[in-house]
Structure 1
Amino acid sequence: MKLTKILTKKLTSFWLVSLAAVAFVFLLSALMSFVQLTYRFQQNKVAELESMIVTHYQQHGTDQLDTWLPAVLKAYHVVQFQLLLDQQALYSYQTDAHSSASGLTLYHHIIDPQSALTVKFELPSPLNNYELSWYELLILFIGFGAISVFVRYGLKWITHELDGVELLALRSKMIIDGDIQGAKLSAAKGRPRLINRAISKLINDLEDAQQERGRLDQFIRANTFLDPVTEIGNRLYFENRLAALSHDNKMVAYGVVFLLEFDDDALMNVQADIEANKAFITQIVAIIPPLVIDYTDVIFARRSALQLAIVVPQLSLAEADLLADRLIRRCLLVKHHQIANHDNYLHLGAAFYKAGDQPSQIIEEAEMALRAAQLQRLNTWFMYDKGAVDKEMAKGSVRWRSFLEYALVNKRFFLLHQPVLDSDNSLLHYEIFSRVRDNQNTEIRATLFIPMANKCGLMPQVERMIVEQVLFNVMPKNDAIYCVNLSMDTLTSRAFIRWIQSALLEHRPLATRLIFEVSEDIFIKHQQHPQLAKTLTMLSKMGAKLSVDHVGKQVVGTHYIQTYDFDFVKLDRSIIRQVHERPENQLYIRSLIGGLLRSKAQVMAEGVEIFEEWQTLKILGVSAAQGPFLGDIALV
């Protein structure tokens, strides 16, 4: 907009100079006309005098000239006068007044060619005899005052109009830069008004189109991944999410799979009452989320018409027993008046899995546990336990807290990174991961200690240590860009916010090489939290970039991406897994990229494992990716 301001000043200056030039030419022309008229008037008087002298000479000769000519010459302000005949003076006249030679006009004419009568006299310049009266001075003053007023008013008007044009240019620049909201708020004084109103209407239409795009995107995902009756994930959603918890077809952490199924024979009498049956299923579905709200990354889906599936990662065997008992008890509180046998219509099977187990094997074990519960002919649950309990999950919360505090004090956390490559396979940045070593120097995965750190309220301290290592140990060694994950507890911790603000102010050049990544789950659960928006805005103003990951793991709208102005959007691995064979996932990715077309956010992918996945993602328009195929996780 600086260039526009300069052009406006130039245009205003040109207008003023042109106006001054016109006024100058007008005044110069008036002055020249006035001078010419005065000289012509004097020449007419001189011609009249010469005519009088010729007439008198022809009738009376030089007699009686003294009687009338001096008075006439005095009236004409003649300084010196001579009447000559053949170069001989017939009559001479001269006043007593003295005038400068530069102020006199000499007239030397032959007034009678027949007798060679010549007149020679000097007159003062007609301008010397002219003096402005007070009335004329008043008229000039009023005229110049009126001109000044009109020039000032014209300058004010043209400046106001040009300011309106600049506002239109500013709004246009905001629209080009993607700041649609800013362009909408600056719609007050744009000129011309017709163009301003047209831009406002187009902005409103654009916002409506973006909202409609978001609704269409959510509709596509809902019809692809949601069950139409219960509005939770369907079988495809369940398989995608379960596959995302694995790596190389092996689970990366421990957890429990629950399968909740209604007995087909017990519900046979209610098949005709479709609406009552739907209402019953919906009530059961509404009971389950509050029971698992305290756990992270829970998968809840409807695998079939009569079966619900729940996957709870990082859940110990003892906690799984308690949760299974609570699930079956709460679901039995929902009554259906047309159930044939109230004592045997609901069963739950659970299978505990550990890191390294195959997803298909886990589902088979959960179904075996469900069959075992059904064989008991009672509303009950059964846990399939093959005795493989991860040693790390056996620690209680108190022991985990003590261990994590000890690791923080002794700085036993260390960093790993994984490259993120763009579509040309060039390095875009590194994503930072963390591990911790126990007393036996054994590495403990983040999937194990992060849930416990969240439970113990230690995530702000853990992530502060990670950011410190990145800022002061890793970044000074090279010019690469690094991406660090932040949790909800960290983003709302006042101590962490004060520290990160002072650290980024002190090391401003490093802030531009940082990307702070936040999980989509945080925006689903805490979107209205006031501190979340303040922290993200502060980090962005400091120069750091913002990223949201695990996008697509939940079936929600993506309007929050424009709200928080993210720089990167990272697709969850459940969308990426076997994407070349899943048209529904490709449809979602195309829809997401189309919805973000006018924003600055770049769409990336995580968990790319094979060449076909990466090729398909590039064809769909994904700008960058990370995963085993593009680069393994390595020590920093």
Structure 2
Amino acid sequence: MRKITDILSTKGKWFLIALAIVYFGIGNLLITTIAGIEQYAYAKTVAQQLAERYAIMPSSSSQSSSLITPTVANYSILVDGELIWHKSNLSESEQSLSLYHFSFDAQKLTVHVALISLYAQYKWVFISFNLLGIGLGLLGYISGRLLFLPSILSLNRIEGWARRYLNEPQHHFKAQSEDFLLEHALEKLDQAKYAAQLHPHTVDAYIRGQTFLDNDTGIGNRIFFDHRLEALLNEPEIDSHGAVYLIQLKELDLVQMQGGNDEVEQLLALFINIIDKYLKDHQDAVFARRSDLDFAILMPHISLTEAEKVAEKLVRLCNRLNVPEYADTDNFFHVGVAYFQANDLPYQVLAEADMALRAAQLQGPSNWFMYDKGAIIKDMAKGSVRWRTAIEKALQREAFVMLFQPVIAIEDELPHHNEVLARMRDEHANLVNASVFLPMARKCGLVPQVDKLIITKTIKLLEYEEGYVEMCSFNLHCDSLNNKEFVDWLIAHLEAHPKACERLIVEIQEYYLVQQSESLKSILARIKATKVKLLVDHVGLYVVNTQYIKEHNIDYLKVHRSIVSNIDQRPENQLFIRSLQGACANTQVKIFALGVENEQEWETLKQIGITGAQGHYFTEPLEQFEPFKTRY
């Protein structure tokens, strides 16, 4: 590939040479040729006239009618070689200008005719002609240097950078002139590309924010909230329950009209700050803005009694707002609550919450309302003391059952690894889902003991089934990682079983990892040192920064089911996964998806190009490995 300047300089050089040849060479030759023909014809005519008239000077009427009329310098007539007449029209000093001579013989009569050269006769014309050519040439050269050469050199720099960039993608372009916008644009684009490669989490966070965040407040938007609610209600093998709270700031429009945007922004910032602080104690809660006046909170895995307490707390928190005097403080906000259980439809839950909101508004001053949901599952109504007793008994009996769900690789549709899913067997021999007993275990401070039991069972299985069982992953909860005694036990236990560690994957929730990144850094490094791999799950459940991917040397990411659900119909969720792939560029991180329920979702994920997926589309959680071994 040749440079633009090489082409321009080569062709331009030959073009200028050709132009000079044409102008100076062919131009002068053409004029000289025409003049010579004219002089020859004229001299011949004069000689013939003189021969006929002997010594008679030719009259002007006998001269050529050409535009260029030659001038006779002198002539001589000889008869039999003897000069009989000589006539000169020039002085002696001008005789040297007689350059063209013509002789004519007729019957012993010889006539010599000398004409003045056209270069001599029209010398200033010829000088002016050549000076004009030289001037135009110099003008073209200077103009080219001033106007075109900088542009050509700029193109040369750009093409030189492009040639080097093809061989060295890390090479950066630096603009060398302030006069060319193209160079500056390329430099900025190159800087932006480098920044995106250096900090891909910023690009990923931007795409997440544009898709799932409210532009004015920075919290989740309607899409964000609806996806989380739908994923929670449709999550298989989990007895979903909880509450949805709709909070409407009814007088916010009045504040907008009376106080302007600044006062609205201050009021919203205070409201969001108050709610965020309260929700820190409810790690699974989702907070979002559904419209200009409406906000929503999703509180999963709480009982009906707890849902009522949360509603009362929200009312007390909202009463802390500094409402302007011109607004109706008694009717500034209202809260509608809908309690949901498994198999409820998302639109029904939201419709019930909206109806409860209208009922609260009809009742008068700022308050909350919830319709009677009816009988609640008895297990959900257990008190903390009864839950503690049930979990402690299960730990003593080691009454925790492990189920396994394969994560299928797209490349060969074989299991990449198996996730260990814990179930607790209660006193009635019923299996209780982890989503039910783990929140209560957390309240009772028993999560580290539960994790110890699951880890011990998993490692025993890997050692017993050595050479047959694929890699296994298990969830490690933040409560356990914050317990120094547990961490010391975990590291010692892993170091005691090095072969099993090579097939172990620890799963940590994305939100917890981001929130406690600094405190977890050394702990995760110690875990990685045992050759255990790290997987971050629940990716996409919250809008967080993905800088942790490189900070903690993560091996795998697992996208949350709220992103995977109906992904074939949701381009914004497809964009999210592609942004995640961009954040993982230049790393060895593999991306998996959780919650694949049908072929359309599976095919879409294949097209996007992730590593694998997990869900009921492939198989339900199993108590052993063999069934899905034979299936795939």
Partner of 1:357: 344
1:487 to 470, 474, 477: 477
Letter in 2 for 1:283: L
Partner of 1:224: 211
Q: Distance in 2 between matches of 1:338 and 1:408?
A: 57
Q: Distance in 2 between matches of 1:315 and 1:533?
A: 31
1:393 to 380, 389, 402: 380
Letter in 1 for 2:337: A
Q: Distance in 2 between matches of 1:333 and 1:232?
A: 20
State the secondary structure of the residue aligned to 2:592. strand
1:419 aligns with 2:409: no
Partner of 2:75: none
Contact residue 336 and residue 355 of structure 2 kept, 8 A: yes
Partner of 2:356: 369
How far residue 549 of structure 1 moved from its aligned partner, in angstroms, is 0.3
How far residue 483 of structure 1 moved from its aligned partner, in angstroms, is 0.4
1:632 aligns with 2:620: yes
Contact residue 349 and residue 384 of structure 1 kept, 8 A: no
Coordinate RMSD, CA, aligned: 2.3
How far residue 564 of structure 1 moved from its aligned partner, in angstroms, is 0.5
Q: Distance in 1 between matches of 2:235 and 2:576?
A: 24
Letter in 2 for 1:416: L
Q: Give the 5 Å matches for 1:9-158.
A: none
Q: How many residues align?
A: 433
Contact residue 270 and residue 339 of structure 1 kept, 8 A: no
1:597 aligns with 2:598: no
1:317 to 304, 319, 328: 304
Q: Distance in 2 between matches of 1:383 and 1:301?
A: 20
Q: Distance in 1 between matches of 2:326 and 2:517?
A: 41
Letter in 1 for 2:256: V
Contact residue 218 and residue 557 of structure 1 kept, 8 A: yes
Q: Distance in 2 between matches of 1:293 and 1:313?
A: 14
Contact residue 250 and residue 357 of structure 1 kept, 8 A: no
How far residue 605 of structure 1 moved from its aligned partner, in angstroms, is 0.5
Q: TM-score, with normalisation over the residues of structure 2?
A: 0.66
Partner of 2:497: 507
Partner of 1:71: none
Q: Give the 5 Å matches for 1:444-483.
A: 444-473=432-461, 475-477=463-465, 478-483=468-473
Q: Distance in 2 between matches of 1:310 and 1:343?
A: 22
Q: Output one character per residue of 1:325-358: Cα deviation in whole Å (capped at 9) or x when no partner.
A: 1211221221232644221121001111122322
Partner of 1:304: 291
How far residue 269 of structure 1 moved from its aligned partner, in angstroms, is 5.9
1:523 aligns with 2:513: yes
Deviating 4+ runs (over 4 angstroms):
204-207, 248-251
Q: Give the 5 Å matches for 1:338-353.
A: 339-353=326-340
How far residue 263 of structure 1 moved from its aligned partner, in angstroms, is 2.0
2:416 to 415, 428, 452: 428
State the secondary structure of the residue aligned to 1:634. coil
How far residue 591 of structure 1 moved from its aligned partner, in angstroms, is 1.2
Consecutive unaligned residues in structure 2, runs of 5 or more: 1-167, 171-190, 625-632
State the secondary structure of the residue aligned to 1:387. coil
How far residue 458 of structure 1 moved from its aligned partner, in angstroms, is 0.9
Q: Distance in 1 between matches of 2:409 and 2:457?
A: 26
State the secondary structure of the residue aligned to 2:330. coil
State the secondary structure of the residue aligned to 1:304. coil
1:267 to 250, 253, 258: 253
State the secondary structure of the residue aligned to 1:386. coil
How far residue 251 of structure 1 moved from its aligned partner, in angstroms, is 7.5
Matched-pair identity in %: 38
How far residue 206 of structure 1 moved from its aligned partner, in angstroms, is 8.5
Q: Output one character per residue of 1:530-584: Cα deviation in whole Å (capped at 9) or x when no partner.
A: xx22221112111111100011111111010111011101111111111111111
How far residue 296 of structure 1 moved from its aligned partner, in angstroms, is 2.5
Q: Distance in 2 between matches of 1:233 and 1:267?
A: 21
Q: Distance in 2 between matches of 1:496 and 1:267?
A: 52
1:250 to 1:305, Cα distance in 2 relative to 1, 3 A: farther
How far residue 289 of structure 1 moved from its aligned partner, in angstroms, is 1.4
2:315 to 328, 337, 340: 328
Q: Distance in 2 between matches of 1:390 and 1:294?
A: 24
Contact residue 255 and residue 264 of structure 2 kept, 8 A: no
Partner of 1:575: 563
State the secondary structure of the residue aligned to 1:221. helix
Q: Distance in 1 between matches of 2:255 and 2:380?
A: 45
How far residue 293 of structure 1 moved from its aligned partner, in angstroms, is 1.5
How far residue 294 of structure 1 moved from its aligned partner, in angstroms, is 1.2
Contact residue 250 and residue 355 of structure 1 kept, 8 A: no
